[in-house]
A and B are shown apart, each in its own frame.
Chain A
């Protein structure tokens, strides 16, 4: 990798310059200077000082490395957080047992954002500047989108298991040029975007002969984004929508919305709502005896949904991403040792985000955010030795090999926009739970997404 070597030399020269600039800066609180680049992230501060001489070798690594995890400890998605937290904790334990990145102890600091963008901004700042997090392994769509400019200014890699938003389809990642951060956007997601897995669901619906559709969805971002993704593929390939009803979440009854929906003529109906509202709506549907084929959004692949709605729901299917990665089994074993939180669609991506970020640090030989950003692509793409965990990756890197991380949720092969593709699992509701019935391969889904658009 000759280009990498020159890049590192340049980097070292730059860091020396920046370091001296920082010292000069420390001597007075205010200085004049036109040096654009050295302004980022506070050069005079301690966090950069540690890697100004350890940029390539890592022999002067810190004792602890911190990942910050903003989470929904309260707020609208808090019921998904236990699985995500447990996966991250399991990953951290596994990594530390394998010797830790750069031999340091990896530590996870988790803080509550309540899925509120204003809180998220405070939390992200606190994690990066006060907890000295090298990377952030969290944040939701509804936090990332309105904070986009701010997160770019933060210049810290955000590798998040949460967002499905189509907004991120063409935003984020290293744009296919790992060594050049000038065009980078600092958000990566280890979960499949809505565009892709809803596409898988739409493909399957058409294959099954459901040509017209009724839709009931919540009027919130995640639910709309899901339906829009579904429809873009469904309508392109000949499906039609007979009726679409948007509803407010948290209502005590959805009967009126259902009666409106089922006045229309269609083969199957798509339900995209968060779990609690969906249970109310589907119970109403069952009580009303409306029948027809239900298609559920991925968040609804939970035992509680079947338990509460009852046998009418049997035969309903869900297309969910996130359990089809090559190393899913490895993940599941380690995860189950950690605790007993239920696995949801964001649990394996949470594992992947911690693993791949730790590997990026190991390859970078540095905890500098920019160095991590540069290495997220190289440890996940290409032809290197395939590794399924940090332990394997650390060993391979020590042997001087290039590595390619193959994750639990998806193969974690980051696109230029920092997205991942994965196959979509179709599960059908039966009395005992959701049973996997078939799978739409990643390649099939990929056909429906234009190159460079994801």
Chain B
């Protein structure tokens, strides 16, 4: 199969990561913390979605909506309980708190949800495109036959819908504009009469909603367990920082870079190194931080 197929795989993987990375990076931009427990938010979303899918009538989208609402509620409760009280202490104590909270939530989920993985019952149809001509450049075929599945289309479609909504939110609504103002300069925003705590709360809810959506999408593709989100947190974090922490647009870009790198490196690395694809993503992250520490598009993160 050709590069085209790999790019499709990369775009799909990137879409999962992008939805979560937007939530992650919004928290970073507004609350000024790296939330390491965000993977658990995703797992919680997956569990809520799974519960809804098995108890409520109606199709999967109903469960997705329930998971998004539930994710938002959980997120604001956790923020009020754990993060808002220590908002003034700076990024490092908040990062450490989120690591502790992550351990608590992950094992709490294990305790409540049990050990074995659960699965969403979904049907997937595949669309094959067979008559595509090859376009070889050296050993690499740029076109070639490819396929997409309905599930992949849903994932990419959801991601695009999220991007559009976030863009509208940030540019057309008062809350969104206030968010951007606060991301740029919090004290200035406060001077201008923005209720910073309200904005922070809105960001927490929004991040939780996105985590709920990402959780269900990831769980449909893999499974529902206490580790559903945790196993992706480093990719999400890499995507957010790669794109320039705090910038939703950067996070989208970063997520697709990571997704494409994962796909292409698995396809083209020597076979003894195919198990290293996520390490390759981290190498890129470190390289970007060194060359352009502000990320592909974003703020200065060096202090000296």
Binding site for B on A (CB under 8 A): 74, 78-79, 81, 218-219, 243-248, 250-253, 255-257, 259-260, 262-263, 275-276, 279-280, 283, 287-289, 304, 307-308
Contacts and interface: CB of A to CB of B under 8 A. Distances in A.
Nearest to B275: A219
Nearest to B12: A253
Nearest to B116: A79
A250 B221 CA distance: 11
A276 B226 CA distance: 13
A259 B1 CA distance: 7
A115 to B, nearest CB: 13
The 10 closest A-B pairs by CB, nearest first: A219-B275, A256-B266, A250-B231, A246-B275, A256-B263, A255-B9, A78-B115, A287-B149, A259-B1, A79-B116
Interface in B149-183: 149, 151
Contacts, number: 91
Interface-centre pick from B263, B271, B275 (highest chain A CB count, 10 A): B275
Contact of B6 (A248, A259, A262): A259
A276 B225 contact: yes
Nearest to A257: B266
B267 to A, nearest CB: 5
B223 interface: yes
A280 B222 contact: yes
A451 to B, nearest CB: 33
Contacts of A307: 119
A245 B274 contact: yes
Contacts of A283: 124
B117 A253 contact: no
Contact of A260 (B13, B110, B151, B267): B267
B119 A253 contact: no
B221 A245 contact: no
B255 to A, nearest CB: 12
A247 B12 CA distance: 18
Contact of B274 (A260, A275, A287, A304): A260
B147 A247 contact: no
B16 interface: yes
Interface-centre pick from A219, A288, A289 (highest chain B CB count, 10 A): A288
A74 B277 contact: no
Contacts of A245: 266, 271, 274
B292 interface: no
9 contacts: A74-B115, A244-B271, A250-B222, A251-B262, A252-B232, A256-B266, A259-B5, A287-B126, A304-B119
Contacts of A251: 231, 262, 278
Nearest to A279: B223
Contact of A289 (B5, B128, B264, B275): B128
Contacts of A248: 275-278
A79 B115 contact: yes
A276 B223 contact: yes
Interface in B91-105: none
Nearest to B107: A74
